[in-house]
C-alpha cells in the first residue's frame, strides 16, 4: 500500500480521552474531562422523550429546527438586548466543536494566519492546520491570564485572517470585559480580519459579573462568529448540540461548510430544547449561582490541601498549582495523581504550544457534592 503523509502529523488522541480512559482503568475519580456527573433537568428529559415518541425522528432542517432557532433568538434578546434574524443568523450545530471547525473553514484560506491565545482549547489549531493556515500562538499573562495587548498588536499583519477568543476561558476561568472587546476592535480595525468567539460557558460566570458577548459589541459583531453550547448549559454534553451566531453574509459561508460536515443535528432533542428554553429561563439565569456554589464548595474543601488554587471567574474548571507537591512536568504529575492517588486531572501544558513555566493542573468541579468531597479528601492527604 502506498504510504501517505498525514495532514495532522503532530496530533494524537486528545488529552481528554487519554485521561478519562486512564481514570476508568484505574477506577479514579474523574475531575479531568469537562462533563457533569449529574443529570440534565427532569422536565427537559421528559420533553426529549416526548419528541422521541411522537414521530420527530427524521432529518431536521440543515440550519436547525425553526422553533429552536427562534427560541434562541428570544433568549439572546432577553439577555443582551440584541435582535437577531433566526432564519439567517443562527445555525444549530452538532456541538460547539463542529461550529468552531465550520467557522474556521468558512473564512480561513491557505497561507492565512490565525491568532490564538495560550492556553488555548485544543480543537482550534487542528482546524486551522486543515484549512492550510498557520496558527500564531500568543501566551497570556501567567499572573491573571489576561491578553497581552502589545504582543497582539505586534503580531497582527495583512496575513491575519482571524483571531480566536474564548470567554469565559477554558482552562483558566479568565473572563473578557466589554473594554477588552473594544481594545480588540481598535487593534483589528486596520485589517481584513474576523473574530471567532468561543462563548460556550456564557452562563457560568461568577462574582456578579455579566457575560460580555462579542454579539453586543457594535463593531465586532459585524465580523464575528460566536459559538455557544446547549450541552454545557443543560448538563448534557453527550447530546452534542451547539449553535453559531453570525451576520447573514458570514452565516451563509458557515452553512456552506456545515451542510457538508454534519449537515444536521439530532431532531427530537432540538424540539425539546426549544420548549425548555422558553418555558424555563430560570435554568440558564440561575446557572452562574449554581456553579459558583460548587466552585466555592470545592475551594473550601481544598483549603487544607497542598495545592494552591488560582482565581476562577467563570467556567466549571479550577486551576491549581502543585509545585508544593512535585517538580515533575504537569503531564507526568497528572498521570501520577491518577494512577497513584485515584484522582484524574488535566495538565495545562497541553493547551499551550510552548513550554509552560508553571506547575498547573485543571480540575472540573461540575460534580456531585459527594464526588467533590471524596476527591478533596484524597487531595488533602497527599
DSSP H or E segment with residue 113: strand 113-118
> Could you tell me the pLDDT band of residue 355, with boundaries at 50, 70 and 90?
confident
**What residue numbers bound the domain in which 224 lies?**
58-282
Q: Write down the pLDDT at residue 25.
A: 93
**Residue 5 resides in a domain:** no
Asked if pLDDT for residue 1 goes beyond 60, the answer is: no
Q: Where does the pLDDT of residue 17 fall: very low under 50, low under 70, confident under 90, or very high at 90 and above?
A: confident
**378: confidence class by pLDDT, cuts 50, 70, 90:** very high
Buried b (16+ CB within 10 A) or exposed e, 33-63: bbbbeeebeeebeebbeebbeeebeeebeeb
Is 369 found in the same domain as 248?
no
Q: Is residue 62's pLDDT more than 90? A: yes
Structural domain ending residue among the three candidates 282, 313, 334: 282
Do 160 and 117 lie in a common domain?
yes
Instruction: Give yes or no for residue 2 having a pLDDT over 80.
Output: no
Which tens digits make up the pLDDT trace of 240-285?
999 999 999 999 999 999 999 999 999 999 999 999 999 999 999 9
| Banded model confidence at residue 149, pLDDT cuts 50, 70, 90 | very high
Residues 69 and 193 in one domain: yes
Question: Cα–Cα distance between 113 and 160 in angstroms, integer?
Answer: 5
Within a 10 A sphere around the Cβ of 233, how many other Cβ atoms?
Answer: 22
What is the average per-residue pLDDT within 318-322? 98
CA distance 120 to 170: 7
Query: Which of 247, 282, 317 is where one domain is finished?
Result: 282
Residues 22 and 86 in one domain: no
Q: Model confidence over 114-126: pLDDT tens digits? A: 999 999 999 999 9
Instruction: Residue 332: give its domain's CATH number.
Output: 3.90.1150.10
Question: Which pLDDT does position 4 carry in this prediction?
Answer: 80
CA dihedral 234, 235, 238, 240 (to 10 degrees): 30
pLDDT band at residue 11, thresholds of 50, 70 and 90?
confident
Statement to judge: residues 246 and 322 lie in one domain: no
For residues 356 and 269, state if they share a domain: no
The predicted model gives 65-70 an average pLDDT of 98
The C-alpha cell at 257 is 461548510
Which of 254, 282, 310 is a domain's end point?
A: 282
Amino acid at each position: 500500500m502506498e504510504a501517505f503523509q498525514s495532514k495532522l502529523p503532530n496530533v494524537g488522541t486528545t488529552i481528554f480521552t487519554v485521561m478519562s480512559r486512564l481514570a476508568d482503568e484505574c477506577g479514579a475519580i474523574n475531575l479531568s474531562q469537562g462533563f457533569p456527573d449529574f443529570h440534565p433537568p427532569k422536565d427537559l428529559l421528559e420533553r426529549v422523550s416526548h419528541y422521541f415518541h411522537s414521530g420527530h425522528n427524521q432529518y431536521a432542517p440543515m440550519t436547525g429546527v425553526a422553533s429552536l432557532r427562534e427560541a434562541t433568538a428570544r433568549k439572546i434578546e432577553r439577555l443582551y438586548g440584541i435582535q437577531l434574524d433566526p432564519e439567517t443568523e443562527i445555525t444549530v450545530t452538532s456541538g460547539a466543536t463542529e461550529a468552531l471547525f465550520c467557522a474556521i473553514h468558512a473564512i480561513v484560506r491557505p497561507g492565512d494566519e490565525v491568532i490564538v491565545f495560550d492556553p488555548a482549547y485544543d480543537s482550534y489549531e487542528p482546524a486551522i492546520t486543515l484549512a492550510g493556515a498557520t496558527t500564531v500562538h500568543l501566551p497570556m499573562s501567567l499572573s491573571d491570564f489576561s491578553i497581552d495587548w502589545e504582543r497582539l498588536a505586534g503580531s497582527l499583519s495583512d496575513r491575519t485572517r482571524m483571531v480566536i477568543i474564548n470567554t469565559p476561558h477554558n482552562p483558566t476561568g479568565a473572563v473578557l470585559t466589554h473594554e477588552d472587546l473594544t481594545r480588540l476592535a481598535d487593534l483589528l480595525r486596520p485589517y481584513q480580519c474576523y473574530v471567532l468567539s468561543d462563548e460556550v460557558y456564557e452562563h457560568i460566570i461568577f462574582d456578579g459579573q455579566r457575560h460580555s458577548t462579542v454579539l453586543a459589541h457594535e463593531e465586532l459583531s459585524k465580523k464575528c462568529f460566536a459559538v455557544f453550547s446547549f450541552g454545557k448549559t443543560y448538563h448534557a454534553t453527550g447530546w452534542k448540540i451547539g449553535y453559531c451566531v453570525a451576520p447573514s453574509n458570514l452565516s451563509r459561508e458557515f452553512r456552506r461548510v456545515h451542510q457538508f460536515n454534519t449537515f444536521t443535528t439530532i431532531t427530537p432533542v432540538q424540539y425539546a430544547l426549544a420548549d425548555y428554553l422558553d418555558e424555563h429561563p430560570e435554568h440558564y439565569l440561575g446557572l452562574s449561582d449554581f456553579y459558583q456554589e460548587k466552585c466555592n464548595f470545592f475551594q473550601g474543601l481544598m483549603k487544607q490541601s497542598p495545592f494552591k488554587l488560582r482565581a476562577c471567574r467563570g467556567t466549571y474548571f479550577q486551576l491549581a498549582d502543585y509545585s508544593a507537591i512535585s517538580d515533575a512536568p504537569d503531564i507526568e504529575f497528572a498521570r501520577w495523581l491518577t494512577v497513584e492517588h485515584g484522582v484524574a486531572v488535566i495538565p495545562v501544558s497541553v493547551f499551550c504550544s510552548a513550554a509552560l513555566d508553571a506547575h498547573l493542573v485543571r480540575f472540573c468541579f461540575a460534580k456531585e457534592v459527594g464526588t467533590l468531597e471524596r476527591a478533596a479528601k484524597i487531595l488533602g492527604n497527599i
